[in-house]
Structure 1
Amino acid sequence: MQRLAFKMKLNPGQKDVYIKRHKELWPELKKILKDSGVSEYSIFLDEETHTLFAFQKVSGQGGSQELSNNPIVKKWWAFMADIMETNPDNSPISHPLEEVFYMK
C-alpha cells in the first residue's frame, strides 16, 4: 500500500459548491477509484490560500492521477472545471507532494 498526496487549487468562494459536489460523488466514479486501487481518499482545504490537499491510500502503482483516459473521470473534470484551477483538458492542476515524515 502506498500513500499519495497532492495539492490543487479551488477558486475563491467555491468551498460550498465543492463540498456539495463531493457529497454527491457519482457512484460510477467511486467504483472506478476503488477498482483502480484507491482504498482511502481525503481532501482538505486551506481556506486562506484556497489550496486543496489530497491524500490517498493506493494498492499498486496507480491512484486517481492515472485515470486520465477514463470517460467518467473526464466528465467529472468537466463538471468541476468551473470551480477549480484546471489544465486545458479540464484536469485539475495538481502538484504531487513528497512524503517527508510518516509515523505508524
Structure 2
Amino acid sequence: MIRKASIMHVFPDYYEEYKRRHDKLWPEMAEVLKRHGAHNYSIFLDEETGSLFAFLEIEDEEKWEQIAQTDICQKWWAYMEPLMETNPDNSPVSRNLKEVFYLE
C-alpha cells in the first residue's frame, strides 16, 4: 500500500456543510474511490484555520490518478466547489505532503 497525505482548505462558514456532505457520501462516489484503490481514507479539519488534512492508502499511483477522469468524481468536485478552495476544473486546491516518519 502507498500512504498519501494532503492539505486542502474549506471556507469557515461551511465546516458543518462539508462534514454533512461527507457523512452522506454518494454510494457511487464511494464505489469509484474503492474501484480506484482507495483504502482507509480520512479527512480531518483544523477549525482554527479551515485546513483539511486528508490521508488515504492506495494500491497504485496510476490507478488512483485516473479517478479524476471519472464523471462521478467531476460531479463531486462541482458539488463541493462552493465550500472550498478549488482549481478552475473544480478539483480541490491540494498540496501533497511528504512523509517524514512512519511507525508501523
Q: TM-score per shorter chain, which class?
A: over 0.9
Find the aligned partners of 1:85 and 1:101 in 2 and give their Cα distance: 28
For 2:28, give the aligned amino acid.
Answer: E
- Superposed, which structure 2 residues align to 1:1-104 within 5 Å? 1-62=1-62, 65-104=65-104
For 2:11, give the aligned amino acid.
Answer: N
CA RMSD, Structure 1 to Structure 2 (Å):
1.3
Contact 1:8 1:93 in 2 (8 A): yes
SS in structure 2 opposite 1:90? coil
Identity %: 47
SS in structure 1 opposite 2:12? coil
Contact 1:38 1:63 in 2 (8 A): no
Find the aligned partners of 1:63 and 1:30 in 2 and give their Cα distance: 15
Cα deviation for residue 66 of structure 1 reads 4.0
SS in structure 2 opposite 1:81? helix
Mind listing any 5+ residue stretches in structure 1 that lack a counterpart? none
What count of residue pairs does the alignment treat as equivalent?
104
The runs of at least 4 consecutive aligned structure 1 residues that moved more than 6 Å come to none
In structure 2, the CA distance between the partners of 1:62 and 1:54, relative to structure 1 (3 Å rule), is farther
More helix by share: 2
TM-score using structure 1 length: 0.94
Find the aligned partners of 1:23 and 1:31 in 2 and give their Cα distance: 15
Contact 1:6 1:96 in 2 (8 A): yes
Cα deviation for residue 59 of structure 1 reads 1.1
